[in-house]
Structure formats: C-alpha cells, structure tokens
Structure 1
C-alpha cells in the first residue's frame, strides 16, 4: 500500500490543526472577529451597534441556561452518526472562544466610539474594558486569579451600567439588548443561597463535601461554591449518586482557598445559579469511553461511572488512593469499575498516561478519551491522542 504526497500533506495538516494554538476555542474566537469585520465592511454596521452585539454575545454565552442548552443540543446526536461528526460536536465546551472573540471585538469597536465621541464616560468604559482584557490574559489570570475574577465581576457590572447610561442619551434602542444582558447577569445571583454542608477529610489533602438542600444535579454538572459571595467563587464537579438526594464535591488542596476549607470545615457555604454542564457530558456521544483522571480529578468522572451514562473504563493515577481518599470512596469506585487501572504513584512512580490511555482504548475498543487532570497533563493527553486519531477531550481553563 502506497500513500501519495497529497495524502501525507493532508494528514500533516490535520495533525497540526489538532495542536495548540489551533484549538476549537481559538478558531471560534477568530470566527467572531472575522464576522465582525464582515459586518462592518460588507454590511456597514455602526461601531456602537457592534459594541452592543458583541457585549450581548459575550455575556449570554456564559449564561448557565445557555451553556446547558448548548450541551443538550450538541450531545443529542445519536451514536450511529459518523465518528468525525460526533468528534466535532464533543468540542462544544470550547464555546468560551465565542466569549473571548466577542469581548475583544466589543473593546475594539468601543475604542472607535471613544475616538469619535470622546468624553469622561466613554474613556472610563474603555479603560475598564481594557483592564478586563489585560487581566484575562492566560499568564496574568493564572498568577492573579482573584484579581481577574473580581475585575470581571465588578468591572463588568460597572461597564454594563455606564454603557446603559450612555446609550440612554445617544441611542435608546440599544437599551433592549443591554436589558437582556442585565437579566442574564442577575439570574444566577437571584438563586444565591447559604446552605448547610457536611465535610469529611480522609486526609489533609482532600475534603469530601456533601450537600442535601433540595438540589440533586445531573451527572456531568458543576456547582459554584463560595465562603464570601462578593469576592471569590470556585466551581467543582457534582457527584450525585443514583437513587439518593443531594450530591458530593471532591475538593483537593490546590491553593489557599481549598486549604482553608479543608482545615476549617465550615458548616455552611454559599451557592448560586443552577448546576451547569461541563466537559464530561460529551461521553453520551460515544459508544465506549475511557476516563483518565489524576488525583481528585476522579470527582468529575465518578458521577458518570456511577450513573453509567456511557460504557466506560477508568484509568486513575493518584498517590496512595486509600490513604488519600479513604476506603469508602475507593471501594465505591471499584464496585462500578472492577477493571479500572488504578496507578499508585507512591509505589509505582509517575506513569505514562498517554500510553495507559491508548492501551485502554485498544483493549476496550473505546471511541473517545475524556481526561480530568491538571493543565499540562490534560493538554498533553488530548493532543497526543488526537494526533493518533482518537477523539480526546479535557478542560481548557478558559474561564
């Protein structure tokens, strides 16, 4: 069998497009920017109109109801559809690219507005938009996450209010989409509640947090949790158990906030909004799935394994699993996954997770791999497997 030059070039191009920076997230961001150029140059849209359109898109695409709808639509495809189609639909969680592209475009068009109609209010809005974009740059966001989060919350609210004031004077028609944005922003806060929790720490590294306040979320969703609702929020994967009310969160020590939670074990925490779909939901697109988890990444995998949302096999790499997470949790996992590969890094060292995942795919005849781990490991596994022709998915840390 011979492979001609054109086919080799096509394979090389596909391999290149499966690596950064050509992620679906970045492609969506670029598509929004391109659509803005078309709207401005070919359709002759005004800068102020484009600002509002982009601000509306940037806000709505982060709305929990919209996110859940996107996942519901994307994962409704039956498993007999061609794998290439389902492979692409599984990338639905890259929707944050629309947010990024719209936010950048809104700021760019507002700079045009600021030049043509300068004034203190206009320059204040532009400064806030610019600061939010700068603090959202990946390195700054990772290094100063609390500042990034607060700038987006308070800066976003301020921009919305100031732009509404400006629009009321210059173009009242623009107030209608801004009102929609205001409702979208307010909805999660209307469900702000302080709820009781029970916390068990099998080790100083982990807290198993149990909720039972009238909400039993679906497998593959997450809940935003806070101890100070105006300042800091953290999202964790919900772990509901079939036939039981409530849910659990598996929280590992990964910073000051989680360390204090494990040490203090508060009796109540704040929650807001509704359970929101995450990357794990895409498992139902495939006939068989391999879940790859490291450490407390087992938390987002567990509800799917318990609910058997799709035939699956688990590869879990962690240090001393029983000592870290407790016998009860490990036994619960092995009960539903007796063939799981549980790699104890304490005794066996660091594994080659790409090789373990690839081997599990071949043994289990899986169509896809879902990885729940830290950023470098997730990116490595997703990119290496996709270059081998296996659909692979994992968080992209875009929010």
Structure 2
C-alpha cells in the first residue's frame, strides 16, 4: 500500500439520529427478535380482545399450538439445510440491484434473531400453558392429569435452564457448559415434549383412540418434523481420516479428503462427539478435491489438538454457509482478517469470484502459518497487505480498512477477527456509510 493511499482521511461518523440502524441495539438480529415477539404480543392482545384466554374450551389446545409454533421456528431456523437455503435465497440478488437492497440481504446471517425470539416466546407461552393446566386442574374444569402437570413443570425447568445458559454473558464465560446444556438438556426436553404430547392427547380425548387423535394433531406432526431436524446431523455422523501440517506451535493445517465443500462454508469437528464440537471455515482449492482447516491455539481444546495431533476426527451434518458467503452480493469487497481469521477468507481469495482486497494482520505470518500458506495467498492476491505485528506493531485496522475501501472502490467490507474488534469495525464502518459484515457470536 503506497503512502498516498494511506493518507485518505477517515471521516467523522454520521450523527446518531441519522444512523439508528447502525447501532448494536438496532441490529438486524435484534430487529428479528422484536419481530417475533411483536407477532406473539399481537396474538396475545387479540386473544384478550375476543376473550379467548378465559372463555374458550380450547384454550389449552391454543396455547399448546403457540408453544409448538414458536418452538418450530426456534429449532428449524438453526437446521443446516435451512441455513444454506436462506443464504442461497439472499445471494440470488444480482449486483445490478440497488446497493441499499443488497446490503440488507447480506445481513442474512442475523437469522439467529428468529431463533432467540422464538425461544423466548415459546417459554412464555409454555408458562401460560402450565399455569392454565394448574388452574383447570384446581377448578376441575378440564381433563388435566397430575402426571401431565408434573412432567410439564419439569420440562419448563429444563427450558428455563437452557435459556439462562444462552444469555450472552453466561454463554461467553461458560461456553463449554452452554454447549453441553444445549445438547443434553435439549435432548431431554425433546423426550419430555414427546411424553407431554402423548399424555396431553390422552387427557383431552379419553374416549378416542390415541392413534386417531395424533393423526389429526398438527402439534404431533410438527414434533415429528422437529425430531427429524434434530436427528439429521447426527445421522450423518462419521469418523474421517485427516493429515496435518504443523508450521508452528501456534497453528496446524488440517487436510480432509472425504468431500469437497463450497467456499464460504464451515465444518464442525470433534474428537469426542458427545462433548465438544468446534466449527472452522473450510478452505477448498479450485479444481482440487478435499479441503483444509486452519486451527490456531485459542484454548484447551485447540492446544491439545495441536500438541496431540489426531489421525481421525468426527464430523456431522453438512457444510454450512457462513458470513463471508454474502460476498457475491457485492461488486467488490475488502476483507480484514486477523490471525487465524485468514481461514474463512482464504477460500474466497483463491476462488476469485469477486474482486477482493485483503488486509491480514497477524504475528510473524511465515513463522506461524508457514511459507507455503503465505506464498499461496500472495499468488492469488499479489496486492494483499500482510501486516506483521511483531515487526510493525498493531495496525489501525479502521484506517486501513477505510483506505482500502476508498482506494479499491469496494462496495463492502467483511471482517473476520475476534468479537471485540469485529463489532467495533462493523459499527465504525457502517457509521460512515460503508456496508460492513462480521460474525455475531450468537451460538
């Protein structure tokens, strides 16, 4: 990067009243949460207006349906095939469309807001359902067994535990506990939902055959679909061989040959499939079979992986689209990566589907990741700015990013870094009118 390029002045941020959509509290994620909650509140208000909640004989059926509807949204929006479909639909827009539309479509990776909103609403409706069951039991106005109330109370406790563990502060501090809770408590909740569904159907229709009741129950069929959705990734569980190259004690390059994923996707791997799973960006090479992952030391699991290199790892599900997959919505893109964040960026650099300008900030890139990887990047992107922090110190990535966007004429910036830096760069860029994207750490 020449001296002239680095002299581009960073403008002031727009006034807050002119950019409310760029503030974290108004993120697309939070907007989707509010959309779901708003729809549920509207349903609640409508029920109050027509007297549904206290006069209808079918109030338990209605509340049960609302729980299942929100639960379905919560689970299905995280299904890998659904995620890939959402990304596929969002990226169908041609680059001839107005940038205002394309920059909004590129926020597709905020779909987790539907997951969170649905989960909150499902728990709230379940609390109302449980309260209604207790009231009807005490009043003697409905067929509600003590078994159903007891099982529902336990299920409500499990759902609350999962919700508490998913709170951002708790999830970040106790991430392994969060993952285990979501996995094992989630399975327990699914089994308990099946039990409550069967008992509820029996209690509400004691004189009709259970099979007949279930055949006409929308909740039963949705629960069946949700069970299949949850089981599907595990039905694809397999142990595959890997080969590793360790250029340093900080990083390892893992090679897979069992299939070739698409650029912009990720794969979840594990050494013990019932416990920890970690997702890494796939690095396929154009015209070559297989793919690589870059794993850098960032905790106990990655440290053990580097020091005690396995010959096989477990994989499950299918490769899933990630944030950088939205690059095709833009005519040109600036990528900012730090450290092993080069992993999610490299497949796009190699594929060359979109004109790219790369800024990579890392410690001793050749010593850490190997000459072969650095040379591969430079062959594909000769103009890449590789900033060695051991030699040059920490860069002003905001200034570098803005300069690159202006000098390259890029339509958008994508940042792959740690949570703090990613959120800061995305907000700072968007506050200056530049579409910016980066992971949101919502799972």
TM-score, structure 1 as length reference = 0.96
The alignment status of 1:55 with 2:100, answered yes or no, reads: no
Match of 1:231 in 2: 275
CA distance in 2, matches of 1:362, 1:313: 11
Deviation at 1:158, TM superposition (A): 1.3
Match of 2:41 in 1: 37
CA distance in 2, matches of 1:126, 1:165: 13
Large movers: runs of 4+ above 6 Å:
none
Alignment of 1:147-186 (within 5 A): 147-171=177-201, 172=214, 173=217, 174-186=219-231
Deviation at 1:115, TM superposition (A): 1.3
CA distance in 2, matches of 1:12, 1:236: 36
Deviation at 1:14, TM superposition (A): 4.0
Match of 1:6 in 2: none
Greater relative CO, 1 or 2 (CA 8 Å, sep 6+) = 2
Q: 2:356 aligns with which of 284, 288, 312?
A: 312
Which deviates more from structure 2 when the two are superposed, residues 64-73 or residues 166-175?
A: 166-175
The alignment status of 1:108 with 2:153, answered yes or no, reads: no
The count of aligned residue pairs is 389
Could you give the per-residue CA deviations for residues 339-396 of structure 1, whole angstroms, max 9, x where no partner exists? 0111110011111101100000011000000000000000010000000000000000
CA distance in 1, matches of 2:125, 2:99: 40
Larger radius of gyration: 2
CA distance in 1, matches of 2:187, 2:25: 31
Deviation at 1:199, TM superposition (A): 1.1
CA distance in 1, matches of 2:17, 2:153: 44
The alignment status of 1:207 with 2:252, answered yes or no, reads: yes
Alignment of 1:283-362 (within 5 A): 283-362=327-406
Match of 1:4 in 2: none
CA distance in 1, matches of 2:15, 2:105: 21
Q: Which runs of 5+ in 1 are unaligned?
A: 1-9
Match of 1:20 in 2: 24
Match of 1:138 in 2: 168
Match of 2:300 in 1: 256
CA distance in 1, matches of 2:241, 2:303: 19
- Considering fraction of residues, name the structure with more strand: 1
Deviation at 1:11, TM superposition (A): 5.7
Q: 2:236 aligns with which of 166, 188, 191?
A: 191
Where 2:354 maps in the other structure, the secondary structure is coil
Where 1:21 maps in the other structure, the secondary structure is helix
CA distance in 2, matches of 1:132, 1:24: 23
Deviation at 1:167, TM superposition (A): 1.4
Q: Which runs of 5+ in 2 are unaligned?
A: 1-13, 53-58, 135-148, 202-213
The alignment status of 1:270 with 2:314, answered yes or no, reads: yes
CA distance in 2, matches of 1:38, 1:160: 28
Match of 2:100 in 1: 84
Deviation at 1:50, TM superposition (A): 0.9
The alignment status of 1:218 with 2:234, answered yes or no, reads: no
CA distance in 2, matches of 1:144, 1:398: 14
Could you give the per-residue CA deviations for residues 243-295 of structure 1, whole angstroms, max 9, x where no partner exists? 11000001111110000000001000000011100001100000000010000
Match of 1:66 in 2: 82
Deviation at 1:114, TM superposition (A): 1.5
CA distance in 1, matches of 2:295, 2:44: 47
Alignment of 1:119-130 (within 5 A): 119-130=149-160
TM-score, structure 2 as length reference = 0.86
Could you give the per-residue CA deviations for residues 137-181 of structure 1, whole angstroms, max 9, x where no partner exists? 111111111111111111111111111211122244111101010
